[in-house]
Amino acid sequence: MFPLEAPPDTSAYMIAGYVIFFVIAAIYLISLLVRWRNLNQDMTTLEAIEKDNKRKAEKPSKEQKN
């Protein structure tokens, strides 16, 4: 008969593994949210510039008619 041995204490590595998993997952999710927010801001700004450009382009043609 072999004596029954308890498995080695490797719990610190297990904790490290799951901490790393959740940290990387959180960093990726935050990066998605930040990029999404920045793109929305860019979209709003660019749409405003486009509208402004259109208005400027329409103004001279109205003045010419007058």
Residues making contact with another protein (CB under 8 A): 7-11, 13-14, 16-18, 20-21, 24-25, 28, 32, 35-36, 39-40, 42-43, 46-47, 49-50, 53
Alpha carbon of 45 to those of 33, 37, 42, 49, 60: distances in Å?
18, 12, 5, 6, 24
Please tell me the distance from the alpha carbon of residue 31 to that of residue 48, in angstroms, as a whole number. 26
Query: Which of 31, 59 has the CB closer to another protein?
Result: 31
Please tell me the distance from the alpha carbon of residue 44 to that of residue 36, in angstroms, as a whole number. 12
Query: Which of 7, 65 has the CB closer to another protein?
Result: 7
Query: Which of 18, 66 has the CB closer to another protein?
Result: 18
